[in-house]
Amino acid sequence: MKKSKNNILPNQKEASRRPEHISTVIDPNNVPAFLKSYLEGKLFYIKTFGCQANIRDEEIMAGYLSLAGMTRTEDPKMADLAVINTCAVRENAEDKVFGEIGSFKVNHQRNKEFLLVIAGCVMQEDGVALQLTHTYPWISLIIGTHDVHNLLPLLNNVVKKQQSLINVRSFASEIVENMPSNRLSSFQAFVNISYGCDKYCTYCIVPYTRGRERSRKAIDVINECKKLSDEGYKEICLLGQNVNSYGLDLDDGTNFASLLEEVAKLGMPRVKFLTSYPSQFSDDMIEVMAKYSNIVPWLHFPVQSGSTSCLKRMGRRYTREEYLDKVRKIREKIPNIALTTDIIVGFPGETDEEFEDTLSLCKEVRYSSAFTFIYSARQGTPAAKMEQLDPAIQHERFDRLKAVIEETTAEHSLTMVGKTFDVLVIGPSKKNGEVLTGYADNGKPVNFKGPEYLTGCIVPVKILETHVYALMGELAEDPLILKAKEVAFHMSRDPLLKEYLALDEAIRNDESIKAIANKIVIEKKAMAENFTNSEEHSKHKANYIEALESLKNNPLVSNRNELISLVEERLLAIRDSIR
């Protein structure tokens, strides 16, 4: 393929510009006809690195490729089109990407029509996209994080002109609604509430790769959640780089506590959210979490460091004491809450004392689990210009921190032994097909023996023992009964079935229908009594037929008859989806 001269290249400095006006665009989901004829019937493969925002982008890109008539394959060798969705947050995540791109040379050699798309955060970094197209000439298209919704028109350009293309805008001034999406799970869903981040922690690349913070309108978020609830989803996770600043840019009084409350009211069995910025986690948030039992008793509360001076260099806008105060307040109102965190060790200039502060904070908070990272310098961020620490010191500290986290994780797991928890079943364990794996509502992984058909159900499991990374338990109810409850759950969620049941109820309570039904009984009885009197018999028969007709023509009844065939179809679909 030749290379396009119309490339759009990113500029990390530009990424921090706030667009003057953010508009909402409704995606019409058009598929260019030329592209459709090129892609229809072919196979696509997607490999995603990194966080939930990238997973959500994968689901959307898969939605677009399906619209173009393609089918997903999990075997990269079979792919006619592959997407590599990259993560820039740490160096080791970036390195994995390059190996992955190299492996698609074979597809290109075997199939001249093969298309390779590189997407995600790494592409937003200065100079990377251009360099990649030189090193790996089999790349067809590079798109940035702001152009996921333009995947099909951009691919159309590539295929029509037979030219590779780079399209990476530095920032976006639009929020796109109504994008197609092939969700990876039929019971757990991520819902974006905001894009980008305005916090500019000095180590972090995200504000440069995802741009300034933009909130979706509350109504769009709620409608998406409502649809998921109607489809029978069990768990929603609201996503934003910093959920607690949701709505501040909308200037309409919406904030995250009120949005969370609206979503909880929809009645989804489990509602959670990622990620909270500690100093913006408000008292209102604590109230809402405590009030709704379907908001899970789990909070991811990234501290990054336990030392006030180190937090200051990181650009985090809270002190150790303020963080601990929040933790105390949260635990006071929600005693059973499980707290998890992110910690960076070996940040530039981190002293022994500062590191000891991190250890002592972890011992005080006693996290139920934590992600620990060795600091990784990211080009273009302020911390990359600070004096870096010796890697040997970083690794030694990392091991010491890990030991403390393992201790508090094990301690938290032990408090669960002997108790019964609701577990959302993810599916059979990869190591042992007889064992199911799932998550307790506090986020802890739980394994137990049970039939595969419980995948996607929320089931009670009694915790028997703890292992290093998961708890072992036993099912506390008959699996067949649990499956029957699952069917009832799906029926209660389906809007069509709800409408049908409501109509049935209305018919039974309607006075005019009761009167017609009475008339039918009376006339039928009179027909039997006048069996030998043909004149009387035919008079009552005519009345009887007239009453039957008026029943049939009653709007409530005729609506019901129309609904019945739709309901039958829906029941079959529900049966197939939960089999």
Q: In 375-418, where do the E strands start and end? A: none
Q: How far is the CB of 196 from ligand F3S (least distance, A)?
A: 9
Q: How far is the CB of 262 from ligand F3S (least distance, A)?
A: 24
Of the candidates 458, 438, 219, 571, the residue with the CA atom closest to the CA atom of residue 449: 438
Q: How far is the CB of 379 from ligand SAH (least distance, A)?
A: 10
> Which of 239, 567 has the CB closer to ligand SAH?
239
Q: How far is the CB of 197 from ligand F3S (least distance, A)?
A: 3
* Mask for 194-213, x = binds ligand F3S (CB under 6 A): ---x-xxx--x-xx------
457 vs 444: CA distance, rounded Å: 16
> Which of 282, 388 has the CB closer to ligand SAH?
388
> Which of 342, 406 has the CB closer to ligand SAH?
342
Q: How far is the CB of 168 from ligand SAH (least distance, A)?
A: 20
Of 237-266, which residues contact ligand F3S (CB under 6 A)? 241-242
Residue 50: CA count within 13 A, CB half-sphere: 27
387 vs 324: CA distance, rounded Å: 29
Phi, psi of 2 (to 5 degrees): -75, 170
User: What SS3 state is found at 177?
Assistant: strand
> Which of 142, 239 has the CB closer to ligand SAH?
239
189 vs 325: CA distance, rounded Å: 32
Binding partner at 301 among ligand SAH, ligand F3S, none, C-beta below 5 to 8 Å by kind: none
> Which of 222, 384 has the CB closer to ligand SAH?
384
Binding partner at 455 among ligand SAH, ligand F3S, none, C-beta below 5 to 8 Å by kind: none
Q: In 277-397, where do the E strands start and end? A: 298-300, 338-345, 369-374
Contact 464, 474 (CB under 8 A): yes
270 vs 447: CA distance, rounded Å: 19
> Which of 200, 371 has the CB closer to ligand F3S?
200
User: Which three-class secondary structure string do you get for 62-74?
Assistant: HHHHHHCCCEECC
DSSP structure string for 251-263? -SS--HHHHHHHH
Binding partner at 207 among ligand SAH, ligand F3S, none, C-beta below 5 to 8 Å by kind: ligand F3S
Of the candidates 344, 336, 304, the residue with the CA atom closest to the CA atom of residue 323: 304
Q: How far is the CB of 323 from ligand SAH (least distance, A)?
A: 14
Q: How far is the CB of 16 from ligand SAH (least distance, A)?
A: 16
Binding partner at 541 among ligand F3S, ligand SAH, none, C-beta below 5 to 8 Å by kind: none
Binding partner at 344 among ligand F3S, ligand SAH, none, C-beta below 5 to 8 Å by kind: ligand SAH
Q: How far is the CB of 241 from ligand F3S (least distance, A)?
A: 4
Burial of 134 (C-beta count, 10 Å sphere; 0-12/13-18/19+): exposed
Tokens of 394: 């970083």
Contact 189, 234 (CB under 8 A): no
256 vs 246: CA distance, rounded Å: 5
Binding partner at 274 among ligand SAH, ligand F3S, none, C-beta below 5 to 8 Å by kind: ligand SAH
Q: How far is the CB of 34 from ligand SAH (least distance, A)?
A: 38
142 binds ligand F3S (CB under 6 A): no
Beta bridge partners of 340: 300, 369
Q: How far is the CB of 474 from ligand F3S (least distance, A)?
A: 40
Contact 323, 280 (CB under 8 A): no
The number of beta carbons lying within 10 Å of the beta carbon of residue 309 is 16
Binding partner at 200 among ligand SAH, ligand F3S, none, C-beta below 5 to 8 Å by kind: ligand F3S
> Which of 42, 210 has the CB closer to ligand SAH?
210
Tokens of 91: 């160096």
Binding partner at 244 among ligand SAH, ligand F3S, none, C-beta below 5 to 8 Å by kind: none
Q: How far is the CB of 270 from ligand SAH (least distance, A)?
A: 19
> Which of 206, 404 has the CB closer to ligand F3S?
206
Of 263-282, which residues contact ligand F3S (CB under 6 A)? 277
Return residues touching ligand SAH (CB under 6 A): 89-90, 203-204, 206, 241-242, 274-275, 302, 304, 342, 344, 373, 375-376, 378
CA R_g for the chain: 29
Tokens of 481: 């009964």
Phi, psi of 280 (to 5 degrees): -95, 5
Binding interface with ligand F3S (CB under 6 A): 197, 199-201, 204, 206-207, 241-242, 277
